[in-house]
Homo-oligomer: A and B are copies of this chain.
Amino acid sequence: MNLRIPGPTPVPESVLQAMTKQMVNHRGKEFGELVQKITERLQGFFQTKGDVLILTASGTGSMEAAVTNTLSPGDEVLAITNGSFGDRFAKIAEVFGAKVNHLSFEWGQPVDPDAVRRALAAHPRLKAVLLVHNETSTGVTNDLKAIAAIVRQHDKLFLVDAISSIGCIPLPTDEWGCDVVLSGSQKGWMCPPGLAFVSFSQRAWAANKTARMPRFYFDLGRAKTILQKQQTPWTPAVSTFYALGVSLELMAQEGLENIHQRHARVARRAREGVRSLGLKLLAPESCASNTVTAVYAPSGVDPLTLRRTLLAEYKIDLAEGQEKLADKIFRIGHLGFVTEADIDKVTAALREALPRLGYRPAASAVPKS
């Protein structure tokens, strides 16, 4: 199986094998040392001297934690969205009682930093800004560096969903001044799902002191306190910690810079591959994501039929378009444990399958033979 969805992502064999280890006491010394080591490794990959807390949850749990640990009901926030996950982040803030100002961009287009600047000027009472770094639903990477600089200028709390970016795409948390940065084990980390990561800056802890949104399972203050004893507040997903210990070791061996370059290479290969077939990408090249590529299904080809064909005949599992893009696009995930060879197989399969499904590329797009 060539699992080409943006998470869960394929897991190296040694990481899978790590999970055959028997349970240990999650409040004992051995597990504590693993918690400690993983936490330090994550701080390294997040490029932060701040805290990184590990939750037994999927990424959405970390989004809830980011909101409820920094805000109070009635707090005004700016939710910047250009896709399904941006909308989710905004919705969570709303559900827990924030006053949400939306700054929305077309799905498939990047967030415009100048518009962020104007929105911040127009809403002086904002407490926090919410942004998705890499919008998994559209394959757009937002210009986090530029946006972060603007948020810092206005001295707002900055909550960043980096679930499908960090560890794959550069995100120096402290250097760019991101207060809360989120990720999930099943994304770039080459690990099964079940753990979510939250970095928390000093500014975030200051906000936490007065944050009155209700929280218990995701209470990061508790998590920080008990982390001093190398523990988690509640029983953690022990086996997934075992897996993560090994996958972070593999990442350390490869090196963060090399991992970023590999993701850039693989993503370029994906974009070139689909373009060589005459297909059109959803996102402009300037903001095209290095972890997921969204592709318009060509006219007359149903994306669901295409995905089913690739799954049945080529054992390639592509992701669907979400919500309003459901009948328009398909997505190729290429994050974590992925190489150019995995992508070449996708291109080759599309090249074979599409004509059978009725696709006739424009002459100019036919690849040279």
Contact = CB atoms under 8 A, between A and B. Distances in A.
A266 to B, nearest CB: 18
A60 B194 contact: no
A261 to B, nearest CB: 24
A364 interface: no
Nearest to A65: B217
Interface stretch (A45-53, A236-244, A269-277): A236-244
Contacts of A10: 22-23
Q: Which of A58, A96, A184, A218 has the most CB of B within 10 A?
A: A58
Contacts of A237: 58, 192-194, 237, 240
A206 interface: no
A1 interface: yes
A216 B20 contact: no
B92 A216 contact: yes
A239 B242 CA distance: 12
Contacts of A3: 22-25
A203 interface: no
Contact of A20 (B17, B59, B320): B17
Interface in A21-62: 21-28, 56-61
A288 B97 CA distance: 44
A234 interface: yes
Contacts of A216: 60, 64, 91-92, 95-96
Contacts of A61: 56-57, 217, 234
A97 B73 CA distance: 13
A8 interface: yes
A154 interface: no
Nearest to A184: B235
Interface string A1-25: 1010101111100001101111111
Contacts of A20: 16-17, 19-20
A8 B58 CA distance: 20
Given A25-B319, A56-B58, 4 more contacts: A10-B22, A11-B22, A58-B234, A237-B237
A240 to B, nearest CB: 6
A188 B218 CA distance: 25
Contacts of A16: 19-22, 239
Q: Which of A17, A96, A238, A320 has the most CB of B within 10 A?
A: A238
A28 B317 contact: yes
A317 B24 CA distance: 9
A29 to B, nearest CB: 9
Contacts of A192: 19, 23, 237-240
When A and B form their complex, which 3 residue pairs have the shortest distance between CB atoms, in order from nearest?
A194-B237, A19-B19, A8-B23
A186 interface: yes
Nearest to A10: B23
B28 A8 contact: no
Q: Which of A63, A96, A216 is packed against the most chain B CB atoms within 10 Å? A: A216
B8 A235 contact: yes
A118 to B, nearest CB: 29
Interface string A166-203: 00000000000000000010100000111000000000
Contacts of A234: 58-61
Contact of A58 (B11, B97, B236): B236
